[in-house]
């Protein structure tokens, strides 16, 4: 199963991608996570992208193309992948097709997460992450057990630099302008599955699985083998 998840920041793509990855037994590839890791590790790529990521601006296409091409050629993508955060522009969508075609592959489905703007701002402004393990929390919807520390490793949680209110607004405005042409591109190819993602995570997972034609009542192992 080769899937792309599209949706605005805060739509819950990361949460759903992790669940689908477990269910389907294919890797979750988040370009945002890859870039943040590169920044934290101080690699050449990390130094090149730091300013873009922290201000919420898009990293240049040529650099993203290389990062995605290298990742999609790793052996764990043999049975598929869940791509989260790429493509973000029409040009990136065309590039992704080219990268896959080079290897004789193509996408199976593209899931578009639809969420009301006010819900997004609420979700993003309360989001907290663990800088050690990457776990996500939310001040209101999913608070950590112990006073702003990660439940898994006790690290003090932080707010992502690009989740500050002024950056949130510019990220969402940029998203809307760029995503509709991408959605259209996949709609024309009959790959697009639009999902109302404004509810709690379990309901959204069910909707996605139903839309993909996967029976969510079956045990995980059975779904994975299917
Ligand atoms: P995300 O975690 O998907 O919200 O991504 C965080 C940041 O990483 C974005 O605001 C961009 O600066 C950068 N980024 C992630 N994916 C891409 C992409 N496909 N193209 C350009 N920049 C990206």
pLDDT of residue 188: 97
b/e string for 166-186 if b means 16 or more Cβ within 10 A? ebbeebbebbeebbeebbebb
Whether the link from the prior residue into 28 is cis, omega within 30° of 0, is no
**Is the CB of residue 10 below 6 angstroms from any atom belonging to ligand 1?**
no
| Model confidence, pTM | 0.84
Write down the catalytic residue from 19, 109, 171, 207. Answer: 171
**Is the CB of residue 53 below 6 angstroms from any atom belonging to ligand 1?**
yes
Nearest CA to ligand 1 atom 8: 32
Active site residue 127: yes
Indicate the domain borders of the chain: 2-225
Rounded-to-integer distance, Cα 174 and Cα 1, Å: 29
Which band of pLDDT confidence, cut at 50, 70 and 90, is reported for residue 217?
low
**Is the CB of residue 197 below 6 angstroms from any atom belonging to ligand 1?**
no
45 C-alpha to ligand 1 centroid (Å): 13
CATH homologous superfamily for 2-225? P-loop containing nucleotide triphosphate hydrolases (3.40.50.300)
- What single-letter DSSP state applies at residue 149? B
* Strand ranges, E, within the chain: 2-6, 28-30, 81-84, 109-114, 127-129, 136-138, 192-196
At 169-207, the pLDDT tens digits run 888 888 888 899 999 999 999 999 999 999 989 999 999
| Residue found by looking up tokens 């439940």 in the block | 151
At 81-108, the pLDDT tens digits run 999 999 999 999 999 999 999 999 999 9
Specify whether the CB–CB gap between 194 and 112 falls below 8 A: yes
Q: Among residues 151, 117, 120, which one has the least CA distance to residue 137?
A: 151
Ligand 1 pocket mutation pick from 7, 10, 35 by most atoms within 8 angstroms of CB: 35
């Amino acid at each position: 199963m080769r899937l792309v998840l599209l949706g605005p920041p805060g739509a819950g793509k990361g949460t759903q991608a992790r669940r689908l990855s477990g269910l389907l037994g294919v890797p979750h590839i988040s370009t945002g996570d890859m870039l943040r890791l590169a920044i934290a590790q101080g690699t050449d790529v990390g130094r090149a992208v730091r300013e873009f990521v922290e201000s919420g601006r898009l990293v240049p296409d040529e650099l993203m193309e290389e990062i995605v091409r290298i990742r999609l050629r790793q052996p764990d993508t043999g049975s598929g992948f869940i791509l989260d955060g790429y493509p973000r522009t029409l040009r990136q969508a065309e590039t992704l097709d080219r990268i896959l075609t080079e290897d004789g592959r193509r996408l199976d489905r593209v899931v578009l997460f639809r969420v009301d703007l006010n819900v997004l701002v609420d979700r993003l402004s309360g989001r907290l992450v663990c800088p050690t393990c990457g776990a996500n929390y939310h001040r209101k919807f999913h608070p950590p057990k112990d006073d702003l520390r990660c439940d898994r490793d006790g690290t003090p949680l932080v707010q992502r630099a690009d989740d500050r209110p002024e950056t949130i607004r510019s990220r969402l405005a940029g998203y809307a302008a760029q995503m509709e042409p991408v959605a259209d591109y996949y709609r024309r190819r009959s790959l697009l599955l639009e999902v109302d993602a404004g509810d709690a995570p379990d309901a959204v997972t069910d909707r996605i699985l139903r839309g993909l034609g996967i029976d969510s009542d079956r045990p995980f192992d059975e779904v994975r083998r299917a």
